[in-house]
């Protein structure tokens, strides 16, 4: 069993792992987009040292863009085989990929207009794919993977387990004559949010595990809810708009459900809530369709005909005109809009309208990468001095109160990851989907528990069961050479 990673190796986005089995069968696990701007996103255009037409199968662990976003490109480059996933992942992947195609095409047109004025048209890269390409990729989806049930994929026995990260997320047990391998995909933050906890995985010879937050502990869920509730009450008293930038999948549904609970029990006044994200509204349909997957409280509400994602004051905003009209609404109101890191989307015009007003509150519930608009606002708020940020070409003063709530993360922390590994026996552990510094901090934790661990290098093939690298740790894995990864937008 050999593994070669073309993404999420020594970084957190672009998950794409090529598994080669004895006898030459090749299976691609995930096919995600690199995110985080600049050099990182330029990697989306790179070619692979294999012919996509030669792959036997693709398996998707979950529908986040950094795990599915290069699939239409793979199909453009010749892949015509099956793409296995769970039914909820297929439903969400459609929403995610169509939105991605729209952004690709819009971004391309914008870059082209700008480049024409500077006579640099030839430098603009074409969009990775369009809506038509997405439909071709969606036609290959085989949503037949069910938790706990084995499926034959190109002669390999594949059993998905509940990963508890987002709706439909799975880790994979892959069994063949070569051995037993677990690919973790992204693992969930236990005892939090809408998803049931991950199920303990079985024993394996090797585990490839994500390490996004392998060096830290999350705040407990009750503490996070208390912190969120406090921030909301303070914000309502401040009297202005309460802006909550949010990812369309999982985070928006979690925040809506939490707002409903806090308002229903009287902890937070019933002020209007605007969900200004058509993508989040579309994604929420999948939560209804697959409600049995969710924590009992939400599942039972859905079975009883309730809408657990709709506070009584909810307005779902669909058109751009409606979105603009919210700014004319007087008095306090919650505005939930994308995108989560404020790098684009409707949240930007709300920020431009309200960030400079002292009565406004900005409640941050998602990871903000340092270079993003959200990252700049948080960094400025931490200094305590008035700062100014550029939004849609305009300098805007940050006078709003900024509240940062860290505990809504959908990723496992160090305790969760160690708990996941605790039932797997004595496998060789391979680390992916993390910054090198974080993985370096995790390796001693594995050693303490008698587990042999290694970092999966970028693009270099490793023998998963042979263990270790022939010739020692590959060059390029020294801390100084680590690629400048940023945490994923959709993958937070």
Taking the complex as a whole, how short is the minimal distance between the CB of residue 335 and Zn ion, in angstroms? 25
Nearest distance from residue 67's CB to Zn ion, in Å? 6
CB of 441 to Zn ion, least distance (A): 21
Between β-strands 2-5 and 462-463, what pairing exists: parallel, antiparallel or unpaired? antiparallel
Looking at the Cβ atoms of 213 and 430, the one nearer to Zn ion is 213
Residue 127 or 338: the one with the smaller Cβ distance to Zn ion is: 338
| Least gap, CB of 491 to Zn ion (angstroms) | 4
Pairwise CA distance, residues 458 & 474, whole Å = 10
Element (H, E) at 297: helix 296-303
Shortest distance (Å) from residue 35 CB to Zn ion: 11
Closer residue to Zn ion, CB minimum distance, 326 or 365: 365
For 265, residues 6+ apart whose C-beta sits below 8 A from its C-beta are none
What is the smallest separation between the CB atom of 411 and Zn ion, expressed in angstroms? 7
CA angle 343–349–351, rounded 5-degree value? 75
Give the strands of the sheet with 179-183, arranged side by side.
151-153, 156-162, 170-176, 179-183, 206-210, 428-432, 452-455
Task: State which residue, 213 or 309, has the beta carbon closest to Zn ion.
Answer: 213
User: Whose structure tokens read 């994308």?
Assistant: 338
Name the minimum Å distance from CB 394 to Zn ion: 33
* Between 81 and 491, CB nearer to Zn ion: 491
**Which residues of this chain interact with Zn ion, rule CB under 5 A?**
64, 186, 491
Distance CA 184, CA 170 (A): 8
Q: Which lies closer to Zn ion via its Cβ, residue 92 or residue 335?
A: 92
**CB-nearer residue toward Zn ion: 13 or 235:** 13
Cα-Cα-Cα-Cα torsion 318, 345, 410, 336, nearest 10 degrees, comes to -50
CA-to-CA dists, residue 305 to 270, 300, 308, 321, angstroms: 22, 9, 9, 31
- Which residues, 6 or more positions from 75, have their beta carbon under 8 angstroms from its beta carbon? 52, 133, 136, 137, 140
């Amino acid at each position: 069993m050999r593994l070669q990673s073309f993404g999420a190796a020594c970084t957190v986005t672009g998950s794409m792992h090529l598994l080669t089995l004895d006898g030459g069968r090749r299976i691609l696990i995930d096919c995600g987009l690199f995110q985080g701007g600049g050099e990182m996103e330029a990697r989306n255009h790179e070619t692979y040292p294999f012919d996509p037409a030669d792959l036997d199968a693709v398996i998707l662990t979950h529908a986040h863009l950094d795990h599915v976003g290069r699939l239409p490109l793979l199909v453009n480059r010749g892949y015509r085989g099956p793409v296995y996933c769970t039914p909820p992942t297929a439903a969400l992947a459609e929403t995610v990929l169509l939105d991605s195609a729209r952004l690709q095409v819009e971004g391309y047109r914008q870059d082209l207009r700008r480049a024409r004025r500077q006579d640099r048209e030839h430098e603009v890269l074409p969009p990775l794919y369009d809506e038509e390409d997405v439909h071709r990729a969606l036609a290959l989806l085989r949503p037949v993977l069910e938790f706990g049930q084995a499926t034959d994929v190109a002669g390999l026995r594949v059993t998905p387990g509940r990963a508890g990260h987002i709706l439909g997320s799975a880790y994979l047990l892959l069994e063949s004559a070569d051995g037993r391998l677990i690919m973790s995909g992204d693992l969930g933050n236990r005892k939090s949010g809408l998803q049931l906890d991950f199920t303990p995985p079985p024993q394996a010879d090797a585990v490839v595990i994500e390490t996004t937050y392998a060096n830290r502990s999350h705040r407990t869920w009750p503490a996070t809810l208390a912190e969120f509730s406090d921030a909301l009450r303070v914000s309502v008293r401040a009297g202005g708009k309460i802006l909550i930038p949010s990812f369309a999948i999982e985070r928006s549904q979690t925040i809506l459900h939490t707002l409903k609970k806090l308002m229903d029990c009287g902890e937070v006044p019933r002020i209007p809530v605007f969900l200004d994200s058509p993508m989040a509204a579309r994604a929420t349909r999948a939560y209804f369709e697959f409600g049995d997957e969710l924590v009992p409280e939400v599942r039972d509400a859905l079975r009883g005909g309730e809408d657990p994602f709709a506070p009584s004051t909810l307005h779902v905003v669909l058109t751009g005109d409606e979105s603009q009209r919210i700014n004319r609404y007087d008095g306090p109101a919650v505005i939930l809009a994308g995108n989560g890191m404020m790098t684009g989307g409707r949240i930007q015009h709300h920020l431009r309208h309200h960030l400079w007003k002292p009565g406004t509150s900005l409640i941050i519930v998602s990871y903000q990468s340092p270079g993003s608009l959200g990252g700049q606002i948080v960094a400025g708020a931490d200094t305590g001095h008035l700062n100014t940020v550029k939004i849609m070409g305009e300098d805007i003063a940050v006078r709003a109160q900024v509240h940062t709530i860290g505990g809504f993360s959908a990723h496992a922390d160090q305790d969760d990851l160690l708990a996941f590994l605790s039932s797997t026996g004595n496998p060789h552990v391979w680390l992916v989907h993390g910054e090198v510094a974080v993985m370096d901090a995790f390796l001693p934790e594995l050693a303490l528990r008698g587990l042999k661990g290694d970092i999966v290098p970028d693009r270099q093939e490793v023998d998963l069961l042979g263990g270790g690298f022939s010739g020692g740790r590959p060059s390029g894995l020294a801390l100084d050479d680590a690629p400048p990864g940023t945490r994923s937008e959709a993958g937070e």
